[in-house]
Structure 1
Amino acid sequence: MDMTDPSRDDCPEEFNLTRRKLMVGGALFAGGMLLAPEISAQTLGAVAPEVSSNFMDVSSLLIDHHLDPEVGARMAAAMLRINPEIAQDIGAIIDIAKKKNARIVEDFFADIPEGRVKDTALAIISAWYTGVVENSANAEVFAFETALMYQPTHDVMTIPTYAISGPNGWNAEAPALGDMPTF
């Protein structure tokens, strides 16, 4: 049987893969993969390193817990999108803390003036505890399983999720079955 017969319809020409099409497709794929880190950094809203560093400094002053720097960078970017003046507010909070030689939030929080700067400090605390930066139906979740509101009871209570063993529970090994009863 002649496989090049033009009357055959079991392999239309548009589905016929030639080496040239394969090479062009591979080159386009490789080019796309090279651009992927740049695109993902833009879509995540990467912020300048000093803003992210200052955000983590303020966060560690406001919250006495181990904080994930990667989550902090994403939170800083999201908060900067919502409030472009947050960098100045963070700078003001750092200045107040430095003047008081603060190590923990109780050392300086009372000296933060009412208004935008105090609202920023409270928003940062809220973001770390709830895992979101705004209260809306479309809020982006940054830290579900690392949200600080779940940490005090982490050893005795499962984080609310559809997976019985906790977030990403479908990755966990299933418990061994006990001996089945014999009838």
Structure 2
Amino acid sequence: MPDHYRDDAPMEFSLCRRRIVVGGVLLMGSLAAFPTLSATSSNVTLAREPLARFMDISSLLIPHQLDRGIGKRLAIAMTAATPSLPDHIIELLAIARKKRARVVEDFFPDIPQGPLKETALSIISAWYMGVLTDAPGAEVFAYEFALMYQPTVDVMTIPTYAKSGPNGWNAIAPPLSDMPKF
């Protein structure tokens, strides 16, 4: 048996094997993390000003408290799907400012039919549905925070397999009432 295969081999050989194992683990870990890093790095590419404009037009179009994190993800995805979105948002904000709008009803009738109206409707739809398109396999941006559930949150449960609601598997289940005795 050659010397480098024995347990009492010189230190250089055992360190070399450990370095190979550790290097392989690090390489595999970095390859596994690469898709995650590329997905999160796209979040950084959106500048503050376009995000602020997206949130401004969203708050004018939608009369609810909007989550900034969901808004950021929606803005990035909508900009990737529709490259002209930033220009449309600027035009929509100009119409709203011209009308001194505080709510959607103040300026929505003045939006011309065509791409601007479609952009406004797609922003509203994305916030309410939590997805950009209503198609199988669509990326979900907001599930339990999708705005379609907010008007009826006190009477309607969000569809889920967890008994106490979305993410309910980590919540303490409410106590059951006493069963009637016959």
Give the TM interval when normalised to the shorter protein.
0.7 to 0.9
Alignment of 1:41-120 (within 5 A): 41-42=40-41, 46-120=45-119
CA deviations over 1:35-84 (Å, ceiling 9, x no partner): 88853323558422222111101000001110001100111111111111
* Structure 2 CA distance for partners of 1:46 and 1:172, relative to 1, 3 Å: farther
Q: How far apart are the structure 2 equivalents of 1:74 and 1:46?
A: 11
Structure 1 runs of 4+ off > 4 angstroms? 4-7, 25-38, 43-46, 176-181
Letter in 1 for 2:89: I
Name the SS of the counterpart of 1:24 in structure 2: helix
Q: TM-score, normalised by structure 2?
A: 0.78
Unaligned runs of 5+ in 2: 7-15
3-state DSSP of counterpart to 2:118: helix
Counting only pairs closer than 5 Å after superposition, residues 102-141 of structure 1 correspond to structure 2 as 102-141=101-140
Q: CA RMSD in A?
A: 3.5
Q: In structure 2, what is the equivalent of residue 147 of structure 1?
A: 146
Structure with the largest fraction of helix:
2
Distance 1:163 1:29, change over 3 A: same
**1:12 corresponding residue in structure 2:** none
* Counterpart residue type for residue 147 of structure 1: A
Structure 1: 5+ residue stretches without partners:
8-16
Q: TM-score, normalised by structure 1?
A: 0.77
Answer with 35-44 or 161-170: which moved more. 35-44
Q: How many residues align?
A: 170
Tell me the CA shift for residue 157 of structure 1: 2.1
1:92-118 Cα offsets, whole Å, 9 max, x none, are: 000001111111111111111110001
For residues 1-12 of structure 1, the aligned pairs below 5 Å read none
The worse-fitting range, judged by mean Cα deviation, of 40-49 and 111-120 is 40-49
- Deviation of 1:164 after TM superposition, in Å, equals 1.6
State the percentage of identical aligned residues.
Answer: 51
Deviation at 1:169, TM superposition (A): 1.1
Contact 1:45 1:74 in 2 (8 A): no
* 1:172 aligns to 2:171 (yes or no): yes
1:108 partner SS: helix
**Equivalents in 2 of 1:166, 1:149: separation in Å?**
15
- More displaced stretch, 146-155 vs 66-75: 146-155
Cα–Cα, structure 1 residues 89 and 41, in superposed 2: closer, same or farther, change >3 Å?
same
For residues 110 and 70 of structure 1, the distance between their equivalents in structure 2, rounded to whole angstroms, comes to 29
Asked if the contact 2:43–2:72 (Cα under 8 Å) also holds between the matched residues in 1, the reply is: no
Instruction: Verify the 8 A CA contact 2:54 2:75 in the aligned structure 1.
Output: yes
